[in-house]
Amino acid sequence: MHIPDGILPLSVTGSGYAATVLTTWYSIRKIRQKEDPRQDIPKASLLTAAFFVASWIHIPVPPTSVHLVLNGLLGALLGYYAFPAILIGLFFQAIMFGHGGLTTLGVNAMIMGFPALIAHQIFRLRKWRNGESQRKTGAFGFLSGVVATGISVAMFVIILLTNLPAEINIVSERTAIYALAIAHIPIIFIEGTITALVTVFIRKVRPGILDGV
């Protein structure tokens, strides 16, 4: 779901950067309100690396292949660290492997990073009412992964469909975009399953990692 350079107009890429700056500022502001803002930096660094590598794990879904996103997992485990982590991961993916682009970095960050913040809010609901349990951790972990990836796919499709260049074959491009969106449906549920399994495992072996998220 990386939008490359040269597709979106300047107005959209500029708006993407503006939204990314504001969201990054808000995330850092929330991080600074923590008692020890540096405490979760090692965890954020590790998950940034996982997000960076995930784009290489391709899953064949005929007639194409898709890759893991893990933005729901980052949102669940990192909270407000998730957006800066995803932004950094996307930057290195763009300059090292050509995934996405620098002009579309802001748009791609919003496509993948904003849903991660929503996943964070969803995962926090596991503590609602009777407190946290293993079953609730798994359920809300699954929901976090599904919702985050689903929103990312929807944003990706909407942004592309509303900004297709006039000089290309719009019908064929729309067909390709819809096919790519459909191919991501299995990934949405795989992402939910991965997030559920990881969060339940962490709760069993190192529950302190989930404190504060």
How many angstroms separate the CA atoms of 114 and 92, rounded?
19
Q: List the CATH number of the domain containing 79.
A: 1.10.1760.20
Taking residue 9's Cβ as centre, other Cβ atoms within 10 Å add up to 10
160 falls within a domain? yes
| Residue 72 near residue 193 (C-beta atoms within 8 A) | no
Q: For residue 125, give its domain range.
A: 10-210
- For CA atoms 104, 106, 109, 115, the dihedral sign is negative
In a domain, 1, yes or no: no
CA torsion sign for 169, 172, 178, 183 is negative
What are the per-10-residue average pLDDT scores of the chain (213 residues)? Answer: 88 97 97 90 93 78 75 96 96 89 96 97 89 90 97 95 78 86 91 96 90 74
Asked whether residue 143 is domain-assigned, the answer is yes
Which pLDDT does position 189 carry in this prediction?
95
Asked if 213 and 123 count as a contact pair (C-beta separation under 8 A), the reply is yes
User: According to the model, what pLDDT value does residue 29 have?
Assistant: 96
**pTM of the predicted model as reported, rounded to 2 decimal places:** 0.91
Name the strand (E) or helix (H) holding 143: helix 134-161
Beta bridge partners of 59: 66
pLDDT at 139: 96
Per-residue pLDDT at 44:
93
Please indicate, yes or no, if residue 170 is contained in any of the structural domains: yes
What pLDDT is attached to residue 116?
97
Is 134 contained in some domain? yes
Domain count, the chain: 1
Task: Assess if residue 89 is contained within a domain.
Answer: yes
In a domain, 77, yes or no: yes
